[in-house]
Amino acid sequence: MHHFIYNALPARVVFGSGTQAQVTQELKNLGCCKALVLTTPQQVDQGHVVEDLLGDLCVGLYTRATMHTPTHITDDAVKAAQELKADCIVAVGGGSTIGLGKAIALHTDLPQIVIPTTYAGSEATPIIGQTENGVKTTQKTLKVLPEVIIYDVDLTLTLPPKMSVTSGINAIAHAVEALYSQDANPVTNLLAQEGIKSIASALPVIIQEKDTALLLKARSDALYGAWACGTCLGAVGMSLHHKLCHTLGGTFDLPHAETHTVILPHAIAYNTPFAADAIAKAALSLGVRNAAQGIYDLAKELGAPCSLKELGMKEEDLEGAADIAVRSPYSNPVPLEREKLLKLLRDAWAGTRPE
């Protein structure tokens, strides 16, 4: 018998096409009537759509959500929520907007409804990352877990192809880390493998297919995979890959999904000798023999960035990144050694295909 501990997360999930229209009923189900809608500056139009759906149940639209959840933006958003006497947060967008909603909830205990428009997966986790003074830190608390997630496949149809790839591989990273987490269990393993397979098979179709029906199915599969990947990560924990990405994003301001896409093959290669069974599960879901090479090849074939250099990382900053990464490291199948991490980062900077 395999002994394990599994904690199911309390959340309501509404999945389908056209489901965004249910936001008003979901708000009422929570007993709320004064929603503050959140977006990034780039997604204001989507915020207005939700405003219109909510009508008098919406007290305002906050549009300053920012990548890596800087604390000064959170402070401003909390103040806005309090001044408007909001009793609920409705976050519309990707990881930046979802992160801000979580940060507001952390300070105010306001319930959250999340309407994801990417494959970030953060909406399914009780994990929040915040950046202050150039350092990104994370914590895990049920205070930030959204009460309701509304997945509307229609909202992902206009997600640009390149962004779809990096967002999808970002989600795959959640599942890979869940497979070799110290809290891994049969339930999250199944979710992780399902999520990896769903997204990896959908991304080439999203990039290459012109048939509307096939595209819709691929978008649905990718969004379903994002939920599965986020859910399994939320139930277990983060390791080397996320530590490096939080370091590179929070301190060096690299773009979130793109950084995950570049780092993941190298993080897998680093851990493979020490988590062979877990990585083998990932490879099987990807349909390849070598998981690190499989992820790298998938990203490259679909036109995603494969090097930190492409993202604007300076080679002279790699030493500093390695130093930060070994401080307060996340749990990992093998200890994080500075020189080995530096080699990993140099390979990622150059875009070298993992061996």
For the chain, the structural domain boundaries read: 12-156, 161-350
What is the architecture of the domain spanning 12-156? 3-Layer(aba) Sandwich (3.40)
- Within 8 A by CB and 6+ apart from 179, the residues are 189, 192, 193, 275, 278, 279, 281, 282
Phi then psi for 32, rounded to 5 degrees?
Answer: -105, 160
Half-sphere exposure of 200 (CA within 13 A, CB side): 24
| Local confidence pLDDT in tens for the 355 residues of the chain | 578 888 888 889 999 999 999 999 999 999 999 999 999 999 999 999 999 999 999 999 999 999 999 999 999 999 999 999 999 999 999 999 999 999 999 999 999 999 999 998 999 999 999 999 888 888 999 999 999 999 999 999 999 999 999 999 999 999 999 999 999 999 999 999 999 999 999 999 999 988 999 999 999 999 999 999 999 988 998 899 999 999 999 899 999 999 999 999 999 999 999 999 999 999 999 999 999 999 999 999 999 999 999 999 999 999 999 999 998 788 999 988 999 999 999 999 999 999 8
What residues contact 49, with CB distance under 8 A and at least 6 apart?
Answer: 20
Model pLDDT, residue 106 = 97
Query: 12-156 with 161-350: one CATH topology?
Result: no
Tokens of 259: 């950084």
**Residue 312 and residue 248: Cα distance in Å, rounded?**
11
Joined tokens for residue 156: 């992902």
CATH number, span 161-350: 1.20.1090.10
Q: What is the DSSP letter of 70?
A: B
Q: What predicted TM-score, i.e. pTM, was given to this entire model?
A: 0.93
